[in-house]
């Protein structure tokens, strides 16, 4: 049993989703990065029960969030296939443009904080969990999340890449850590230590891509670090994800 806490399936077809199901996937959370892709995530979710949608404005496009987008999101969230607010967060390390060009500049931090705050509020109002993109310095995001009240409606850090102190603070607050393919393959010492020490009950799996099968590798690598089997990691991570969105 396998799951994606964070992928971008685009307009993946029914046949592609059946194929994912055959590879052991029971739950795929496909995330929007703006309004059109959030609408698309819901369309994908309607094609097959294993796909569920997350709606949100990515910090790379934080200046596109406004009251009219918020109202559209309120409408989209009425759909039972909308299970979380994502992808939201902070990124002070650069951005990808809509044309997928890497830029060293990023959206004005004041705007990023305002957009994040508004979307955290939306999640609380809708009693939905959030999956958070954290490319802010040190513990800034956790300081903010602890104050936000969103710990009551569920939080996961997507693409976790920080250290043991950060991971411990997440566990203390009931925040899940989602482990992605690129980070685990980088095998950075501080990250691996955090992964080793964090109870499996707080881990999720993701590829942040349109190819869910990469989760098999993520589970295998987590299993190697923790002395477990790939299947056990896949099953517990899926149960954790179900708990987050229930
Ligand atoms: Zn993403």
- Rounded CA-CA distance 223/192 in Å is 12
Longest dimension (CA), the chain: 49
Specify the pLDDT at position 198.
Answer: 98
Model pLDDT for residues 34-79, shown as the tens digit of each residue = 999 999 999 999 999 999 999 999 999 999 999 999 999 999 999 9
Cα 91 to ligand 1 centre (Å): 12
C-alpha 2 to ligand 1 mean position (Å): 18
Share of the chain above pLDDT 70, in %: 100
What are the φ/ψ torsions at residue 192 (nearest 5 degrees)?
Answer: -65, -40
pLDDT at site 182: 86
pLDDT at 186 over 90: no
Cα-to-centroid distance, 30 and ligand 1 (Å): 9
- pLDDT number for residue 16: 95
Q: 152: CA distance to ligand 1 center in Å?
A: 23
Residue 167 alpha carbon to ligand 1 centre in Å: 20
> Can you give the pLDDT at residue 194?
96
pLDDT digits (tens, 9 = 90+) for 51-63: 999 999 999 999 9
Rounded to two decimals, what is the model's pTM?
Answer: 0.96
Whether the pLDDT of residue 11 is over 90: the answer is no
Contact 4, 206 (CB under 8 A): yes
Q: How far is the CA of 178 from the centre of ligand 1 (A)?
A: 11
For 207-231, write each residue's pLDDT tens digit: 999 999 999 999 999 999 999 999 9
Residues around ligand 1, an ion, CB closer than 5 A: 87, 208
Burial of 82 (0-12, 13-18, 19+ CB in 10 A): buried
How far, in Å, is the centroid of ligand 1 from the Cα of 175? 18
Confidence class for position 187, pLDDT limits 50, 70, 90: confident
Q: Which CATH superfamily is domain 2-245 in?
A: Metal-dependent hydrolases (3.20.20.140)
Average pLDDT over residues 185-211: 95
Supply the pLDDT for residue 86. 97
- Domain segments of the chain: what residues? 2-245
Buried b (16+ CB within 10 A) or exposed e, 95-131: beeeeeeeeeebbeeeebbebbebbbebbbebebbbb
Q: What does the alpha-carbon distance between residue 128 and residue 123 come to, in Å, rounded to a whole number?
A: 5
Q: What is the pLDDT of residue 184?
A: 87
Determine the average pLDDT of the residues in 81-85: 98
Distance 40 CA to ligand 1 centre (A): 14
For ligand 1, the distance from its centroid to the CA atom of residue 58, given in whole angstroms, is 8
Please compute the mean of the pLDDT values over residues 83-109 and round it to a whole number: 95
132 CA from centroid of ligand 1 (Å): 9
Predicted local confidence at residue 231, as pLDDT: 98
Given this model, what pLDDT does residue 21 score?
97
Instruction: Please tell me the predicted confidence (pLDDT) of residue 137.
Output: 95
């Amino acid at each position: 049993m396998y799951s994606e806490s964070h992928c971008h399936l685009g307009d993946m077809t029914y046949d592609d989703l059946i194929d994912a199901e055959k590879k052991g996937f029971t739950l795929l959370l496909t995330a929007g990065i703006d309004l059109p892709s959030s609408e698309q995530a819901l369309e994908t979710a309607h094609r097959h029960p294993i796909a569920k949608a997350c709606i949100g404005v990515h910090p790379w496009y934080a200046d596109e969030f406004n009251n009219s987008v918020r109202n559209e999101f309120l409408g989209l969230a009425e759909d039972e296939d909308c299970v979380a607010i994502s992808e939201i967060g902070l990124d002070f390390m650069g951005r990808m443009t809509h044309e997928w060009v890497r830029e060293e500049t990023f959206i004005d931090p004041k705007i990023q904080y305002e957009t994040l705050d508004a979307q955290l509020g939306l999640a609380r109002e809708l009693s939905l969990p959030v999956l958070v993109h954290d490319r802010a310095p040190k513990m800034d995001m956790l300081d903010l999340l602890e104050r936000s009240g969103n710990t009551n409606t569920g939080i996961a850090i997507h693409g976790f890449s920080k250290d043991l102190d950060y991971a411990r603070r997440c566990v203390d607050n009931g925040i899940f850590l989602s482990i992605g393919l690129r980070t685990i393959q980088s095998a950075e010492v501080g990250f691996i230590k955090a992964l080793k020490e964090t109870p499996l009950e707080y881990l999720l799996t993701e590829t942040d891509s349109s190819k869910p099968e990469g989760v098999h590798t993520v589970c295998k690598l987590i299993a190697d670090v923790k002395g477990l089997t790939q299947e056990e990691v896949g099953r517990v991570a899926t149960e954790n994800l179900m708990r987050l969105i229930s």
